[in-house]
Amino acid sequence: MKKILKTIMIFLVLIGMTRCAREPEVSNFPELILYNGKIITVDENFFIAEALAIKRDKFAAVGTTNEIEKLAGKTTKKINLNGKTVIPGLIEAHAHPEGASTSELFEEIPDVHSVGELLDWIKQQAEKKNSGEWIIHPKFFPTRLKEMRQPTKEELDKAAPENPVFLNGSYGGMINTAAMRISMITKNTRHPGILKDTKTGEPTGFIQASAFSLLKGRPSRDILYEERLDALVNMIKRYNSVGITSFWSGSGGPSNSKMYMDLWKSGRLTARVFQNISVPVNIRAPIEEIREKLSSLGYYTGFGNEWVRVGALKTSMDGGILTGTAYLREPWGSKAEEIYGITDPKYRGGFKISKEELIPVVTVANEIGWKFTAHCTGGGSVDIMLAAYEEVNKKRPIKDRRFSIIHGNFYTPDAIEKMKRLGVCADMQPAWFYKDADAMKYVLGDRRIKTFHPYKSLFDAGVVVNGGSDHMVKFDSHTSINPYNPFLAMWSIITRKTERGSVIIPEEAITREEALKMYTINNAFGSFEEDIKGSIEPNKLADLVVISDDILTCPVDKIKDIKAEMTVVGGRVVYKSESFEF
């Protein structure tokens, strides 16, 4: 408890420093002008300009090249864009850079696309490791393999007979016989997370998250605080290289905020952070205890400065669609056994929190100034969450709090209508559509897939849709487990094309302008920052990206290949490609 209080005090002091710091004197002339380009402002009218001026860390003016060049002084630096397109700095609305930044510090995580590739990697690991050493894939989803299935226990045993194997899918996974042996998991082990053959009673190798703690002897590595900071700096620089100038950290607490504040204080932070906070109290506690705990924290959504802010209060409603643990509106169906090892025909997944349990913490959040959100991957969980929001709204309107649903995935017309009425934002990850729409169609069928990532329906209803990736593991923007490249994401929801080449529910495609809004002004709205960023307008923070192609007019399949040529945060260049000359 003392450590937490100390962390909070440090956070408060650092924030206070930002408010008390004396502002240096500046000239009346802009420090930087970009001219002779196509400036997509994403303002209310989607105005297209030719040039912009930056003074200190904000946009000073936007207009024609002739108008803006007249503002230059002797010390003003000028960049001729030579017709290049400029967009507002891109905002990533859901990522986990703290874990992703260290995920490949010690070895590269394989990007496998078939059962054969996976088994080859396991064999290679077994040859390198000593007998009894664990072989672990930290984020593995069988639905993303060409065959859309888990490898069998027998296949894993053949690939690594003497090494325990664990394919970790966050909410479910797969283990081999050696892993069962070292963890003393047998036919007689009684645990709901150990799935068993209905005829023999033997463990099948399928394992759900509730049983992960049974796995014994898994290795762990200690990483020093300074090493974590260095890794985080490098991860954020990778974000900058694809045009990201702000991001929402998906979950965490004061310790995460401290890392970002330390980076900001040392001048090493190159993107702005909206740090979600995992609910720091037993969600099933009496409402008085919840109110006292949250009120005593001393911070709330929006607390901070223009670089590091406290984000939403977050909890978790269910598991995941890629492991068959999301809570659906109907049973998963006959394909659930084939892919997830689930044999119960009535199985809908599992929810962690009921409507009645959710209402008190949402009520308190609404009272004391928190935005509230939750990990919620199945349609059944979406309905529970919206029902709780409706009850809280009866006592005190929630619209101004911009509550959201993270992931959501399955939105019916009824759910969309409630979201619009309550002002609930849809915190979406197009990477899930790109990677997983084919598997979801195969598992759930033609009828239920129609509610999967219905972007056009959400936009048409007036729901604010936020765009993120849920980046968790690996460094590369395209091959990460949940790729974080915003242009790949935008292309996928503009075309409704998937990684496998399918076009899924094309009538839910959105326009290029709408896709760009998702990653700019919509995300700024979601963090209560639409007045200071998200568009290129005078007096807003000078966050922008020069891009390789015009996203509004280039051939549609070119969108996924758009590169960031230069990324600017607060008027400072934080990334420049080798090919961009100025």
Q: pLDDT tens for residues 84-128?
A: 999 999 999 999 999 999 999 999 999 999 999 999 999 999 999
- Rounded CA-CA distance 167/372 in Å is 32
> pLDDT tens digits, residue range 496-551?
999 999 999 999 999 999 999 999 999 999 999 999 999 999 999 999 999 999 99
Range 404-416 average pLDDT: 98
More confident residue, 227 or 15: 227
- Burial environment of residue 293 by CB neighbours within 10 A (0 to 12, 13 to 18, 19 or more): middle
Quote the CA–CA distance of 19 and 11 in Å, as a whole number: 13
The C-alpha angle 550, 233, 320, rounded to 5 degrees, equals 75
Q: What is the model's pLDDT at position 2?
A: 46
pLDDT at site 11: 52
Class of domain 107-214: alpha beta
Give tens-digit pLDDT for 271-319.
Answer: 999 999 999 999 999 999 999 999 999 999 999 999 999 999 999 999 9
Confidence of residue 24 (pLDDT cuts 50, 70, 90): very low
Mean pLDDT value across the chain: 94
Sign (positive/negative) of CA torsion 250, 255, 261, 266?
A: negative
The answer to whether the CB of 92 falls within 8 A of the CB of 100 is no
Q: Where are the domains of the chain?
A: 107-214
Q: Is the pLDDT of residue 20 over 80?
A: no
Q: What is the pLDDT of residue 220?
A: 87
Region 372-381: mean pLDDT is 98
pLDDT at 341: 85
Task: Tell me which residue of 102, 86, 89 sits closest to 50, measured CA to CA.
Answer: 86
- pLDDT tens sequence across 246-278: 999 999 988 999 999 999 999 999 999 999 999
